[in-house]
Amino acid sequence: MIILFCGLPGVGKTRLANELAPLINAVVLSTDKIRKELILSKPTYTKEEKKLVYDVMLLVARYLHNAAAGGINCILDATFHTEESRRHAREKLAGVPSEQIYIVECTSPEDIIISRLKARKRDYSDADVDIYRKMKQVYEPVKEYERHMVIDTSLDPKINAGEIKNYIFGEQHK
């Protein structure tokens, strides 16, 4: 299965993805980490650079999912901040059955997000409060999608990870 984690910077996607991964035997693929590994100089965050980073992540996810012996579960840790970016992801994941793709939209109260962003140190992400505010202006909440859930990341990540796991495995047994 492939799970797209989406949401604004600082909302807690990475922490929740890392909490969920061992529960569902998944690897976490992060645009922040890929960007830092792929772009050796200071990232510019141009449209072309963002597309490259997302395309690399989606290609790796598709390969891992389609690997021998049933494939590898992947959690994609990225903002996926527009419907277009989520549509692009589904296109790039062509060949992965739609019932194996889930979207987890992470939300949190703004004061918690800003506090998290201010407390960041030596993190893969370059996002700060200014970037959060700019992205908030263009962020598009996930429209109704068949396998989509919204998680409030101000709550305990262990409990949230358990809820996501239960939702996914409950869906698979329907």
In order of their start, the domains of the chain are: 2-172 (3.40.50.300)
Report the distance separating Cα 20 and Cα 74, nearest Å.
11
pLDDT of residue 156: 96
Report the distance separating Cα 24 and Cα 75, nearest Å.
10
Residue 40 DSSP SS3: coil
Q: What is the DSSP string of 115-174?
A: HHHHH--S-S----HHHHHHHHHH--PPPP-TTEEEEETTS-HHHHHHHHHHHHHHHHT-
pLDDT of residue 127: 78
Write phi, then psi, for 124 (nearest 5 degrees).
-65, -30
Nearest 5°: the CA angle 54, 55, 56 is 90
pLDDT of residue 107: 96
pLDDT along the chain (174 residues), means of 10: 95 96 96 82 77 92 80 94 92 90 96 90 77 92 84 96 93 59
pLDDT of residue 66: 83
pLDDT of residue 159: 96
